[in-house]
Amino acid sequence: MPENFKIGNFKTSSFKISSFKKYLLPMLLIFLFTGCTVRLIYNHLDWIIPWYVSDYIDLNDDQDNLLDKKLFAQLKWHRVTQLTSYSKFLRQLKVNFNNGLKYEDLDRCHNQMRKFWQDLIMHAVPDIAKILSTASDEQIEEFLENLEKRNEKYKERYIDLTEEELRKKKVARMNRFLDFCMGDVNKEQEELVDNWSKKLKNISVVRFDFIKKSQKRLKKILRNRKDEETFSEDLTEFFFFRRRNWPPDLRDIAAHNRDLTKKTFIEIVNHMSSDQREYLNEQIDDLAEVFDELAAEKIDE
């Protein structure tokens, strides 16, 4: 990843990549999923992804070149085969919203999003495995140490908070999502979000325990990285995140929270004003159009 590069009229030559991450990432998160930002991010994934990889493992020159080659092929596949499916999915979601959103609509939405994830994993993980199979023991140790640092951040953000702090954090996150979807929420919707947050079960501790156990499993998989075929199969299964592999307490809490969230979201949609509905339709149309345009863009070889 070069230290100096350009986006529009913005150059990074005046400071290091680490500083660029510090100031760009919050800005990207603020505008995430607006049409212009989706286009910006998608068309720069060829450097954004290596940028994130570098936070976990320091690749050598040969590995960097292999990552560039595999990433180009993956992004081409994704653009050509997946983005039109995303736009069709969004347009169907718009129909559901306007025809009276039902619980089964959200079930289908959730299942389709899992399918999108699994399709991506099936296609991308063999290339990830190929790159990781070349990693030295020192690189794997570096990767695992960085995962542990991520665990500490998770603990600070979710485990070390009081119940009330965590509840307010979830309310703020839901309100940001609703603001993106429909603009400013009204009084009734605020109350629905507040009631939702009080009925949620705290999943942070059991999820954190599962994360740590999963990382131990990943460590065992990485030890077998020189057996490329088995390694690729094991890594694909790992990233599928099948619920049947979750411990019962995690499954139960996740199911409760998922059911509660779907029911609450339907109530929120039923309390949408005409202005909010118009705003939501415009957001969906804009995002679907961006996916179609990106899918049609010519890719530079």
More confident residue, 57 or 45: 57
Examine the pLDDT at 28 and tell me if it is beyond 50. Answer: no
Q: What is the mean pLDDT of residues 24-29?
A: 38
Average pLDDT, the chain: 87
Examine the pLDDT at 23 and tell me if it is beyond 50. Answer: no
CB 37 within 8 Å of CB 28: yes
- Residue 299's pLDDT is 73
76-102 residue pLDDT tens = 999 999 999 999 999 999 999 999 999
CB 212 within 8 Å of CB 250: no
- Residue 9's pLDDT is 34
> Which of 21-30, 278-287, 290-299 is the least confident region?
21-30
Burial of 288 (0-12, 13-18, 19+ CB in 10 A): buried
The Cα 57–Cα 145 span in angstroms is 10
Confidence tier at 228 by pLDDT (50, 70, 90)? confident
- Residue 207's pLDDT is 95
Examine the pLDDT at 16 and tell me if it is beyond 80. Answer: no
Residue where the block lists tokens 């507040």 = 194
How many percent of the chain have pLDDT more than 90? 77
242-267 residue pLDDT tens = 888 899 999 999 999 999 999 999 99
Q: What are phi and psi of 59, to 5 degrees?
A: -80, 150
- Residue 286's pLDDT is 92
* Helix, strand, coil percent content, the chain, rounded in steps of 5: 80, 0, 20
Examine the pLDDT at 19 and tell me if it is beyond 50. Answer: no
The two structure tokens encoding residue 250:
């995690």
- Residue 36's pLDDT is 66
More confident residue, 187 or 301: 187
Examine the pLDDT at 136 and tell me if it is beyond 70. Answer: yes
Examine the pLDDT at 214 and tell me if it is beyond 70. Answer: yes
Q: What is the mean pLDDT of residues 132-155?
A: 96
The Cα 177–Cα 155 span in angstroms is 23
Examine the pLDDT at 189 and tell me if it is beyond 60. Answer: yes
